[in-house]
Structure 1
Amino acid sequence: MRNGLPKGKDQSEPPHLYRQQKNDQELLEKLALSGMEYRYGKSNKEALRRVKHELKVIHELDFCAYFLITWDIIRYSSSQGYYHVGRGSGANSIVAYCLKITDVDPIELNLYFERFLNAQRTSPPDFDIDYSWDQREDVQDYIFKRYGSQHTALLGTMSTFKDRSIIREIGKVMGLPKAEIDGFTDPTRAAINRNNDAFRKITAIYERMANMPNQRSIHAGGVLITEEPITYYTALDRPPKGMATVQWDMYEAEKIGFDKYDILSQRGIGHIKMAVQLVEDNQQRKIDIHQVKGFMKDPAVNANLRIGNTKGCFYIESPAMIQLNRKLECDSYLVLVAASSIIRPGVASSGMMGEYIKRHHNPNDVKYLHPVMEEQLKETYGVMVYQEDVIKICIHYAGMDGTDADILRRGMSGKWRSDHEMNRIKDSFFNGSLKLERPKEISAEVWRQVSSFAGYSFSKAHSASFAVESYQSLYLKTYFPREFMVAVLNNYGGFYDRALYVQELQRSGGVVHLPCVNNSDSLVNIHGVDVHLGFVGIHGLNETYIEMIPEERRQNGPYQNLEDFVKRTGIGLEQAITLIRVGALRFTGKSKKELLWAIHLLLGAKAKPSSSAELFCVEAKNYSLPVLINTSLENAYHELELLGFPLSMTMFDLLQTDYRGEVGANDLINHVGQLVRMVGQYVCEKTVITKNNQKMWFGNFLDVEGNGFDTVHFPNNTPLYPFRGAGCYLILGKVVAEFGFASLEVLKFAKLPILPNPVIS
């Protein structure tokens, strides 16, 4: 049986790790109790009670094999030295914690198992297991080999036509230019679009296309493992990835009763994995990155969290998250768990983010909406922060049953969401509140907070998992900042452009060098404090040479001169010019212009064989070149073109003006209410649509010292003073502060001109 239903055509038999349910049950109990001793010691009665309770539920619902197969996957990946993060609602399970599937302690965070698995649950649970982006495929390969190709397949998925995709596809068929199609999806142009003939034609067939299948694809990481051959249930595809894929999605899998294993990947784990290895190689120090509880209590780590020194760190590096943590003065794991959830749009849009920060700083002044709110949400000062909070309030305030609470949870996470369903739950909430004689006005406010979560809330276990990884990243950045930033650069996928991470590397004491054929590798490398940028970051350099140049050097020693380099690599003229212009051949002691002259003589179309002089017995002549001046400004322009940022000069050095503003970022808090002028280097921007359908922007900049500051651009000013891409800006604005965090409300805003390229001018 599974979920109380007899096995039949619509119910799959769960795979048993050792083919018999009894054996699976005994093994799971043995592993869980052994893991409990590892996690909690021998005498933790609460842990023992919870482990035994969970094991009973897992056995009754026939999910022993699901836990064991997940444990088996973790056991394999750990044996290969792979690092993983178990996240999602599975972190509510103490059995999962004891099996090392997750690193989140459910007792410490007061997480309840029923959020993950309970007798009323109508679908199989699923663990989300994240690996480094370059290790996931090997884990998937293990699963297919371990459980057999007849019993294993990737989940499919089906994208449908929705909203913007409908407009775009119809617009393409009509032959409309991209700019016009983009205008049709811009909410600020809604009134103008209504009078557009082309837009009216699109809307005429919009409803017919809505939710129709668009294209089949592969689920982000879902793997199915079945007892019977999987072809009993579906035909299989073998897409370019090469692994068998079923022809339906996760919802159909749930209806049949299949257990899904989410084997996912992310760049954040790649940062951590590589940083640990770099520290071992560069400093001969081994780090046990799983000792997270120690990281959480480290004063230096928490100090960096509080001041927002978190660039490069998983989930806590964005300007919004840095700003939130600074407002909260976040310096503990539990506060970070809450911050990871209140940053989500659901809490922010309800207005409860600001309320949470205020209550966090003044907990004794909190006035709860109702005694139930205090009883259930005292930890979060009466604010609904997590999915679990919403469920608790619906049950305890409105008397809703567990089934409706589970439907509400799935609605909030984007699964099975429909207006009809939400309306039915709303009626259930208000009817239940009425029966319990709750005040109508309070019920209305409680429901407003509940409904604002729809589609955006986080489970507490999910936030806790993210916070664990954030602490691991931040520990590495705090104590090994150079190795950590090199790892961030080499794994890409961060929030910011590479230029900012290079600046962070320099601020941490790293001496960053341009690529060099005798010192660089394909990726960025570090030796002591010296960091050489890699060939992979050079725009226009062929992949063949990215790998071959350092490999040839390792095999046969350093390159001796330009001729030796050309001979050993067989490089062509164009690629050689790219390396010369980026400074990668400076080991020769010659200037770029001398090298460019020489490479054209060696490889140019009119170059003659060196043996011609011998053929005619003509004595070779030595020509002396005129002095060829190479300026730092020329070099900076070469770097801008080939690396995307200048290394030998800063963007401030390139400005035509020496003016650097009246105040610096760290001094803003002392000028609240004043108009100030600042000069800032553009980092990033974020566009939002206001309730009045107008656009406004949030910007992030660095001052000349490399310290960050934030700007707000309201709709009345942004059309007059738009962002114009990378560079430095002169900014006039009013300094405002909220919870001790200062930012700039922009009044005027202009990009500053830089010195002209001397070659072009």
Structure 2
Amino acid sequence: MQIAAEIAGFSLGQADLLRRAMGKKKAHVMQEQKKAFVEGAAKRGIKREIAEKIFDDISPFARYGFNKSHATGYALLSYRTAYLKAHYPAEFMMANLSAEMNTQNFQDKISALIRECRRLKIKVLPPDINRSYYRFTLQDDSTIVYGLGAIKNVGESAVEEIVSKREEGGPYKSLSDFLSRVDTRRVNKKVVESLVKAGAFDSFEENRAKLLKDVSLYYSGKGLSANQISLFGGETTREEKEEITWNLQTKLSFEKEALGFFLSGHPLDRYKQAVPYLNVTGSTELREMENGESVRLVGTLVKLARKKDRQGKPYAQPVFEDYQGEFQTIIFSSLFQEKASLLVKDGCYLMEGRVSKDDETGEVKVIINSIESLDEYRDLRPQSLVIRVETSFQDTDLADRLWEILKDYRGDIPLYFEIKTDKGTFKMKSRNFAVRPDVRLLEKLKKALGPGSVKLVMSNGKNRAGIAGGSKV
């Protein structure tokens, strides 16, 4: 601001507008400000090229720059937190998880922190009515217990009541025991339903659907279901005796409703045998990719916004989630009209597209070119591995290099070689060696032999699909 005032003659108000324009990186506003800056500098006898150079030099600093005292304080804080994370990782992550509770969008922040815990090999146990407190706690040097206060609709007063009665009378033995001991004015129906959806009662009943029904019966004054202790001694109707269960998809959907993310599992788990062979990119890598770069992703559909383009044709802006978090996409009209019926909430998909970055906001989206249900790949299994070489096996150096890679991946999948010579291409099967086509093996072979040198043939029992280094061909 001082530079703008002294060089270009800006008032402090004008200089502050310049600072905000630089910070928000609004291109059209920046051009207007640059013109005013250069013109103001010229009136003070400063050459145009020098004024433009000064403006260009201060632009990056204005986006993220500190004075020395501020920078020193941040440097010291960064050093101390880095030290704590390196030497006391579980304690550090526990404190960060608790610190984010009740902040804006805290569930997204907690989800990111839990992914970091997994990267650090720190286990985060799910919420437990007999083990959890309001905040996240440490069980041992590598295990954190989820805090009840990080569950939607569960406030500090309710958790104080739950912990107080637990410490007075010992661990809760069942849902009926729990409901008979806590003050249900502080621990109301909405609180208990959220605890059930989050899995906090799983230690004595894993059927969350049944528990949720029992909660509804209790708060409606009908008592609990047949195999729970009735709090009112009343008869249980035939309808109430019927056992209900949720499938994995429903269970995880309710879990995400309560926690803001998937904790005990993920909808993609149903396809965990096939996904490693599909050569997909994790959503956190999108920010590092170039604008327009091709990408392949898998994800479960979180939400679908339907829009209309300028011609009035429908298109969609779906949000998907993979193991690393949510990512935004766009499906334009022609593809959306073709695939609209395929897209259902919590469905899992394989998609290909290109990265689209907004220079001003930094927002990253994926323009989807093709999308299909992962159900097509659910039973995908390796059938054979083909290695393509353009030389004779009399090349002992190549043979030795291949053996060094393959020897650690002995398995039961047939191994073939396609050998390209001056006389044509010959395919032969290895008689003495079969492979275990781990994704790491594919990467090593691709690195040693180059792109297009490895083909993994997959089958779902009905069809066969070629996977080149993990990519469908």
TM superposition score normalised by structure 2: 0.49
TM superposition score normalised by structure 1: 0.33
Indicate the structure with greater strand content. 2
Higher relative contact order (CA 8 A, sep 6+): 1
